[in-house]
Amino acid sequence: MNPYVGHQNPLKEGQELFRKGLLSEAMLALEAEVMKNPENAEGWRLLGITHAENDDDQQAIAAMMRAQEADPTNLEVLLALGVSHTNELEQTAALKYLYGWLRHHPKYGTLAPPELANSLYYADALDLKPNYVRAWANMGISYANLTLPRHQHLPASYLRSKFCITECQKKNTERRYTRFSLPFLVYVIF
């Protein structure tokens, strides 16, 4: 039984316990808070931070995902999700959340063009199925079609697109698809 269930302000108690370094007690208080107020993004965020401080990134990610549901553009949540996924060696997920942090940050938002988001979704697919030729081709096309000032990002887009073409050629198990997509990709890039 959680001793903080029924307390008037378990969020405040959880914050105080966290500041004192009493992580197990803070978790109990914050769990009572999110049971009492399941839409409280701050309660979920603090619970996630507490799990992360306790080196439990899987639980931190679960709590932070609930915080993000309640507040999708919370910069602290996006950054914490990126860090926890990095700790779990989940590169694509980490990049997705760090990209979200950049995109929503008022100071750094221009560093994260919306066009790059599509490439991250293809990277997710490739983590699940690394031999999926269509995802390699589509990711290459999305890199090639970045509508940023070409002089600024062309070299990086070119190299990523060229890598995708190489991967498509190596993994060419779907010849019917790549027969049509690769010439288009080569035309767009070169």
Residue 125 pLDDT > 80, yes or no?
no
- What CA–CA distance (Å, rounded) separates 156 from 166? 15
Grade residue 109 by pLDDT with cuts at 50, 70 and 90. confident
- Domain co-membership, 185 together with 130: yes
Q: Is residue 111 part of a domain?
A: no
Containing structural domain, residue 31:
10-89
Contact between 54 and 23 (Cβ < 8 Å): yes
Contact between 129 and 135 (Cβ < 8 Å): yes
Residue 172 pLDDT > 50, yes or no?
yes
Q: Is residue 150 part of a domain?
A: yes
* Whole-Å CA distances, 49 to 9, 76, 81, 84: 19, 10, 10, 10
Task: Quick: pLDDT tens for 57-70.
Answer: 999 999 999 999 99
Of the candidate ranges 83-87, 96-100, 174-178, the one whose mean pLDDT is the lowest: 174-178
User: Does this model's pTM top 0.75?
Assistant: no
Q: Is residue 128 part of a domain?
A: yes
Q: Is residue 83 part of a domain?
A: yes
pLDDT of the residue at 114 = 67
Interhelix angle 175-189/133-144, nearest 10 degrees: 20
Q: Is residue 99 part of a domain?
A: no
Give the residue-averaged pLDDT of 168-189: 45
Q: Which of 30, 35, 28 is nearest to 45 (CA)?
A: 30
Give the residue-averaged pLDDT of 93-116: 80
- Domain co-membership, 121 together with 179: yes
Q: How many domains does the chain have?
A: 2
pLDDT of the residue at 164 = 54
One-letter amino acid identity for 147? T
pLDDT of the residue at 146 = 57
Higher pLDDT, 142 or 31: 31
Q: Is residue 109 part of a domain?
A: no
- Domain co-membership, 15 together with 83: yes
- Domain co-membership, 17 together with 70: yes
Higher pLDDT, 133 or 10: 10
Q: Is residue 4 part of a domain?
A: no
- What CA–CA distance (Å, rounded) separates 139 from 118? 8
Q: Is residue 3 part of a domain?
A: no
- What CA–CA distance (Å, rounded) separates 2 from 24? 11
- Domain co-membership, 16 together with 84: yes
- What CA–CA distance (Å, rounded) separates 61 from 59? 5
